[in-house]
Every structure is written in C-alpha cells, then in structure tokens.
Structure 1
C-alpha cells in the first residue's frame, strides 16, 4: 500500500526590469511523521512596489508560514493551523508598519500578497490573500483557482483590496480541492500571469519534460519577452503519487488521541522512560523522562484530568509547545524535537537542570545589585523575543524562571501567553482566575484588562523589587483595587533608603516600571534594563527623596524631638508667667 506523497517541483524568480526583487517563495516537504499530520506546503509572496520594506514583508510571510505551520499542534486541522499562523504573521507585519515612520501610509509599509498550497493526504488546501494566483492543470485544462483581491477603478487603474499587513484584521480565502495523481499546480505573481497565454504555459511544460526548474525559468523569460515590467516568480508542483485513502484514517487516529494518563517513575510511556515527577499543580503534571531512542533527558507535561473537558484549557495546553517551537531564544524554554508520532496528547520540552529563581531568591535573600542587573537583562531578552512576535507572557514570576548550571535564566510555562491576532485559538478564560499571581501581576489585570508588553514589564520590575527587598512594592493592596481611581492612590515604597545600597536613580527606574498606570511605564523592556545600568538624567536631575521616604525612622524621630522641644518651650513660658 502506498502511504507516501511524491512530488515533482520547480521554481524560478527574477527581479525583471525593476532594481529589486520584492517577491519571495519557498517549499517544504517534511519527513514521514509531519508529512502525515501536516502535509507538504508551498508559499509565495509578492511585495508592493510603493514600499521600500515590502520585500521584508514577503520574506517574513513565507518563512513564518512554513516554520510556524509545521510547529502547530498536530490536533489542529490544516485550515485552522494555517489561519492562525497567517493571522499572527499579519499582526506582526501590521505592528511593524504602525511603529515605523510611515505609520499612516500602508502603501509604504510592511505589506505583501500571499498565496500558499498545502497538500495533505488526498486533499489540496489553498490559502490566498492578494493578487498572486494559483492555477491547476488537470487533463489538459488550465483553471484559475483563486480570486484576485483587487479593486479596479478603471481599465488602467486598480488597487489591492486585501494583503498581508494592510489591516489589523485579515480575511483569508481558503479552498479545499480533491487531489489526483498527475495534477499540476502553478503559483505565480502578476508579473508572470499577466504576460502569458494558456498556450504558452502548456507548450513550455510539454517541451520541458520533468525539468520543472527549467520550465519555470522558461515561462518567466517568456513573460519578460512579452513586456512584463514587474518582479516575476513562478512555482510548479506536480503530484506524482498520493497515499491510499488509509492515510486519512491514520490522521483521524492522530486527532482523536487520548490524553496521557498519570505516569509513574520507572514506567515506559510512548518511547520515554519516566524518571520522576517534577511538579503537580491544578493545571498539569510534569515529569522528567528519558527518550529511550536517543537517551536524552526531556520534560513531559500532561493536562490535569479535571481540565480535560475544558476546551479553553485544552487549547492553551496544546498551544504551549507551539509557542516553544515558534520563538527561539536562549532565555526561553525550547520544545523537544518531534521525531515520531505520539499515541497520546502531551507536550515535550527540553530539560533544564538547575533551580527556579524562586528557590534562588530564598537561598540568596540579599543579592548584590550587579547580580540583580544581570538576571534582569537575561529575563528581558526572553521577554523581548516574545514581544517581537506579538506575544505577552502574562504569568512572569520567579517560579516560572529557571536558572541552569551555567547561570543562564530561562522563562518557562507558556500556558497563559497571549498571541496577538489569534485570540480565537486561545480564547479568554471566562469565569476563571486571571493570569499570574497577586505579587507579580500588573494592576490592569485586576481591572479586567488584557495584557500588553508593559504588563510583562511590570512583572519583571516586581520580581527585581522582591529580590532586593523581600516584599512587594504595594503589598497586596493591588489585588484589592477594582477601579482605576483606587490604583492611583497606591503608594510606592522606595528602596533607596539610607544604607540600602540601592542608588536613587536605580530606584526611580523601578518606580517608573511599577507605575499602576501602564501608560506611564517604560514603552519597552529594553529601555528599562538600560536605565538599571545607566543613570537616567531625568532621575539624576530630580531632587533627593524627602527624608520620610529615605529613612522613615529618622523622620519620625525628628518630628518627636521637635514636638518635645515645643512642649518644653510652652511649659517654660507658662512657668515664667
């Protein structure tokens, strides 16, 4: 029985008569494991000529799609996985434009068209935004399978009506076609299809035989000869063999897998040998295991039994590993390489040998300022990697930060991460507790607001404050505030007291990061950690904190002394009278 997809592929791209090629394309045919659950994928993006950064948008759109799609949970359908990946990428592109100098002119922003094809099993999924095109050739008939998203004003004037990065919301065309051996699919930009006839395509293809790279190049050159003035990109995919129908049954088994059971030390489970339980919480069970195939340690995480019927919790649980695969950074927990199909639903990540920051803080109640700075900088790098992917951790606390044997800090537990643009994948939890814990959660969470990068900044600053003082900047008062007016009354307790060793300018930086109003905090985590090492002039120019803040004991001693002196003077006057 044939269970493999076989393809003949080819492609060619050319900048044509333009100085820069703003197109980008790529293809991925994975190994058997992912080929079964995810299929093979090809993607093409076309930048807009009015933008000087559109070629970046094209590359990001294609690379992100091919990387992120194959990292999505295997339980997601093709359509769902592709839509979530594209929406996340669109959100990032749109945000880059809004942060740039041309924030009000999308024609000069990070904008591109996008078309992709995913072949899984015996079905072809098409995803399309913009005016590139996908054609199918079957039985000698060439048919356009996508619709151009272009608004025509006149015969000579038209505009893109849809594109990646054009708007915060993305509408994606998704079509599903049945696949047959011998089908040939063409993905091409307008610089190609506007200058080719169907006869040109059929004759060139027939003359090229199995040399599809040569066929693609010949068709691009023909379009150039016919007067194309745009960038030109063409991809060809011929389906030579398809799996038997049984492959769909195999996939059905994959998406209907049971949840992993409770595991015991020394037991064998799905190719792993369980060593010991690392933690057990109301949300999950975490185990140290060894991959019996590679003898490599790994961490297995299973969902708590009582949450397995909670759709929201299941979605969050399955999304954790995808996040670990999407963002690669030395200060974020990495996903374990997926080398085989799993028989159960669970996640696997790298094993970090070391201790939590919470334990380190218990063992080191009086850390020096330089250590606090170094730790802050490492945590900030991990947060920035998330923020640049339009993600907010939302549950940053010492228990979710590990320190390995080399002193490297890694942020773990992505169960509360908010991914901008795809909230339908990880919906807000109604009727459940907010993300994070009272000591480290930003005040806006207690008002029911969603998290932003400034919320993560607050949590980082709260951790540093606790490292230096052993307490929280506002105690537990934040958790009791339910209105913005109440939060404005919160009083920050300064650290820069006499003999504390904390410079005033350092304390001012902490105070700004811990402001109850997120709009008054730093805009970026990087700006905050910079000020922890480099005295901010704005803080240096401010007057020295009043004595009641620097040393409350001495202040009240002075008040008592003055009152005593005043009483003595009054008594003396009375006696003299």
Structure 2
C-alpha cells in the first residue's frame, strides 16, 4: 500500500512593507502520526492596522502545527483542529485585552488563518479571514474559501472575521475527497488581489518540478502588478494516496473502539500488562511494558461506564491533549506513539513512587522546609498549565506523585479547563467527578468558573494540610452555596498546629486561602515567592489576630483575665461591707 505523499512549495516576502506580517508552515510527520493525524499546512496574515499582528500570525501557525499533533487520535480531524484554533483565538484575544490595545482590537493581536489537514484520502480545510485556498482543476483555479470581508464602498472594506478579534470564533470547514495529483494553492490577499488567477494556474503547471519557484513567481507577479502588501504563497500537490483497509475504514467512521478488559500478563496492542496501579470510576491505570522498547509505562484506559457518559469520555480524551501540550519536569509526560493505535487508551511515563497522600501519612509532622520544597514543585507544575491558558481544577494529594528522589509529578488532568473551549458543564460533587470538594475553591460551589486563583486556593489547602494535618476550613467550604455564607468562613491559624511555623508563613497561607478569589494572589509565582521572602505586612503579628494565631491560648488568657476581674470585684464588694 502506497503511503500518503505530498510535495510542497512555499515563498514569502515583505513586499513594499517594512516588515513581513505573514507567517506560514507545513509539517509532514513520520508514522504512525502520518496515518493517524495526517499532514498539516497553515498560512496566516497579520492585519495592517496592527503593529503586533506578526506575533499573532506566528503564534497562530506554530500553535496549529504543534498543538494539532497533541490532540487525541480518537478525535476527528475537524474536532482536533477546531479545538486548537479556539484555544489559540482565546489566547490572542486575552493578549490584546491585557495590552494597551484593549480598546482598539484592530491594533491588537489579530490575524487571518487558512489551514488544511490532509489525512488518508481527504483534505480538511479550515478558514478564518481573507486569505484564500484554491484547487487546481483542469488547468484552472477553483476558489474553495469565502473572503470574510465586508465592503463599505468600492475602495473601503474591513475584516468581518479573524483570529483574536473576538472572544467567540467562527471557523469555515469543509472536507474534500482527494485524488492523486490534486494541487492546492494558499495565498494571502496581497497576492490574490493583484495576481491573475490564470497566471497563477500557469505558474503552477509550468513549475511542477520546482514548486518553490512556482510560489516565488506568483508572489513576484503580484508585486509587479502593484501590490502594497506582504506576499505569501504555498503550493501543495498530492503525489500518492493510501488505500484504506476495512479495519481503518471502521475506525475512521466510528472512532477508536474501547479496549477489552485488561488483566496482568496479557498482551495488548504491543504492550505486556504487568499489574494494576489504580482503579476509579473514570479510568483504570496499569503498569505495562512496551514489547518493542522494553520501556515501563503507565497505560490508562477509560472505565467501561464512560461509554454511556459522553462528557466524561470527552474529558478522558482531552486529558491526553493537555499532557502532550505541557513540557514540565513537574508534570507527567506522555509517551510518543511509535505505532498505529487500535484502541482508546493513553500511555505516559511510569513514575516509581508514592502519592502525596501516602507521603503525608508517612510524614505526619514534616519540617517547614520539606513542606515548602514540595509546594514549590507543585506550584511550578501548575505554572506550566497556566502558561498554556489552562486551569488544573482538581489539584489534590492523590494527584501528586513523589518519586524516590523527592521530585513531584502532577497527574490526572481529566478536570482541566482549556481557555476558549466550551464543554458540557459537570457540577462538583464529593465523588471527584470534576474536582474534589475538600480541595476545591469556594467559587466553584456557587457556580462560578475556575481561574488561576482557584488553583492557588487548592495549592494553599495542600500546604496547610501538610503543616497541620487538617483542612483550613474543614468540610465547610462545600456547604457554603452563597457568597454571603462564604464570607463567614473562618480561617484558623496554622501555627496552632505547627508551632515551628513562623507567623508570616501563616499570613501567606491566609492570603492564598481567602474565600474571595479577588483577595488571593494573582499568580502562583507571587505565592511561591512569599513562601521564601517575608512580607512586612505578614511580619507584623498585629496583622494576625491572636485568636487566629493561638485560639486556645486566646481563650485561656481571656478566661484567666475574667477570673481576675471577678476576684477583684469580689474583693471590692467585701471591702464595702
């Protein structure tokens, strides 16, 4: 069977402009991703009114080419690409809102994007903006995309749709069956508004053996015809197509099937199952050995009940995408696929160690430095999520592994939220289906969405528990369903349980654990910094009431004072008689 094969020619030039705000790229992976994910091509064009749109263009193309290949093989091409584009749009929009261009989106991080994924015998096209995708048919160019542009007059127009211009994104999508020899042309508006379609078609036909030169000649023609914009062209020719067998066709139509029930010593999809590591209502995790590489891995399968729960199944698939996007020594790493996957499962590195829950049982009274070291590592793992515009949402000791060197790894991202992706909402409950109530921030229980501050609260709970052996608010957080009730939550000083803990550390924890997210730290980095560097406001013990720092001592002292007052009053009364 012939593999999927394409030839690509590309060219870009700044033209008359001082800088080139276009960006383009293509990626042809090796097997098994060539078959499971296909070949990706993307072209972005920054808007002329913005001085930073070239950043948007580069971000859009790089994110598409990188993040698409991180998505689950069980997702369709359409779902994978659209999720990546929505996440990118959210990042660009937020970047503008946080910049000095927040009141003028036309000067912000905005760009157009035209992209394609060629998988098996189908071309999947994705389009936002006014670049164009053509197909060469019988020597003529057929325009496949619509221009997202509104013409106010004969000489005046504006973009009606682009990446980063709005919080919501509409993406044009179409799937086209392919034949060997099919040729596609991607061009920015700086070319298609000036170069004649007949000229571009002839240039492709005349340079079939040198597509880069064909792309250059097309751009040069637009420049010669008076184009004042950047000039970018991509030519993609399909040289050979694979032939699907019956099994591949079934998987393409219905997605990857659920795996069979796994047992120790059985062989499964190139792995030898060694033993169970963990079983929950959502997934089963096994220690397995890759038969080809002899590497020990953790193999995770969805629980059979997930077949009836599309929301949780979707979270299982999203978890693998998240893991592939994050690169941190404090987050468990996925294993790169080396062969075609036939079932629905995920494979990650195997960590020989214990959960933080077990570690705390083994170390009921850790030193401040031991606790601080672990909290700092967890915090750095969370920062990797936050840099990708993702919220973990289920940080708890059972989701933290500690290996024999003391290094931590965050695991289980099934509850994580990715910015820009609207998913079915699952309410928090005590079963841990989305988050775990004891470690979830108060705002979740009144229906608010999670934020960086929500993860900070969960990290603060873990820090408090490590030092005290208790939860800062007990189980009361999950019982407070209104903001008024949450304002009544009372923080008890950690120093009453860990007498070696300085009062200023208690101030840091109190801030991280404030019931209102707006009163917590704005970023993980601030929290971690304050754990090492005393703030003046926390050094002043007057800022921490005695009843919070030493409640037992407070009440004993108050009782003693009242007793003294009673004795004095009794003496005075006796003297009067």
TM-score bin, normalised by smaller chain: over 0.9
How many residue pairs are counted as aligned between the two chains?
Answer: 573
Quick check: 1:441 aligned with 2:451?
no
Q: Which moved more, 1:252-261 or 1:179-188?
A: 252-261
Unmatched segments (≥5 aa) in structure 2: none
Query: Do 1:138 and 1:182's aligned partners in 2 also have CA atoms closer than 8 Å?
Result: no
SS in 1 for 2:213: helix
SS in 2 for 1:549: helix
Aligned-residue offset at 1:258: 2.9
Q: CA 1:106 to 1:542, structure 2 compared with 1: closer, same or farther past 3 Å? A: farther
Partner in structure 1 of residue 248 of structure 2: 250
The match for 1:429 among 426, 429, 434 is 426
| Residues 114-125 of structure 1: pairs in structure 2 closer than 5 A | 114-125=113-124
Aligned-residue offset at 1:557: 2.7
The whole-number CA distance in structure 2 between the counterparts of 1:117 and 1:367 is: 54
Partner in structure 1 of residue 393 of structure 2: 394
| Residues 101-120 of structure 1: pairs in structure 2 closer than 5 A | 101-120=100-119
The whole-number CA distance in structure 2 between the counterparts of 1:572 and 1:291 is: 86
| Residues 276-355 of structure 1: pairs in structure 2 closer than 5 A | 276-355=275-354
The whole-number CA distance in structure 1 between the counterparts of 2:174 and 2:307 is: 32
Aligned-residue offset at 1:212: 0.5
Aligned-residue offset at 1:549: 2.7
Query: Do 2:131 and 2:189's aligned partners in 1 also have CA atoms closer than 8 Å?
Result: yes
Q: CA 1:573 to 1:208, structure 2 compared with 1: closer, same or farther past 3 Å? A: closer
SS in 1 for 2:48: coil
Q: CA RMSD in A?
A: 2.0
The whole-number CA distance in structure 2 between the counterparts of 1:388 and 1:165 is: 18
Unmatched segments (≥5 aa) in structure 1: none
Aligned-residue offset at 1:56: 1.6
Partner in structure 1 of residue 538 of structure 2: 539
Partner in structure 1 of residue 259 of structure 2: 260
The whole-number CA distance in structure 2 between the counterparts of 1:345 and 1:550 is: 52
The whole-number CA distance in structure 2 between the counterparts of 1:107 and 1:504 is: 50
Q: CA 1:537 to 1:52, structure 2 compared with 1: closer, same or farther past 3 Å? A: farther
Quick check: 1:203 aligned with 2:217?
no
The whole-number CA distance in structure 2 between the counterparts of 1:390 and 1:41 is: 23
Aligned-residue offset at 1:248: 7.7
Query: Do 1:94 and 1:168's aligned partners in 2 also have CA atoms closer than 8 Å?
Result: yes
The whole-number CA distance in structure 1 between the counterparts of 2:550 and 2:541 is: 18
The whole-number CA distance in structure 2 between the counterparts of 1:306 and 1:208 is: 56
Aligned-residue offset at 1:566: 2.5
SS in 1 for 2:531: helix
Q: CA 1:226 to 1:316, structure 2 compared with 1: closer, same or farther past 3 Å? A: same
Partner in structure 2 of residue 55 of structure 1: 54
| Residues 72-91 of structure 1: pairs in structure 2 closer than 5 A | 72-91=71-90
Query: Do 1:121 and 1:247's aligned partners in 2 also have CA atoms closer than 8 Å?
Result: no
Summarize deviations over 1:115-148 as a string: whole Å, max 9, x none. 0012222222211000111011111121111111
Aligned-residue offset at 1:461: 0.6
SS in 1 for 2:191: helix
Q: CA 1:431 to 1:453, structure 2 compared with 1: closer, same or farther past 3 Å? A: closer
The whole-number CA distance in structure 2 between the counterparts of 1:492 and 1:80 is: 44
Aligned-residue offset at 1:297: 0.8
SS in 1 for 2:87: helix
Q: Which moved more, 1:485-494 or 1:204-213?
A: 204-213
Partner in structure 2 of residue 44 of structure 1: 43
Partner in structure 1 of residue 561 of structure 2: 562
The whole-number CA distance in structure 2 between the counterparts of 1:370 and 1:457 is: 19
What TM-score comes out, normalization by structure 1 length? 0.95
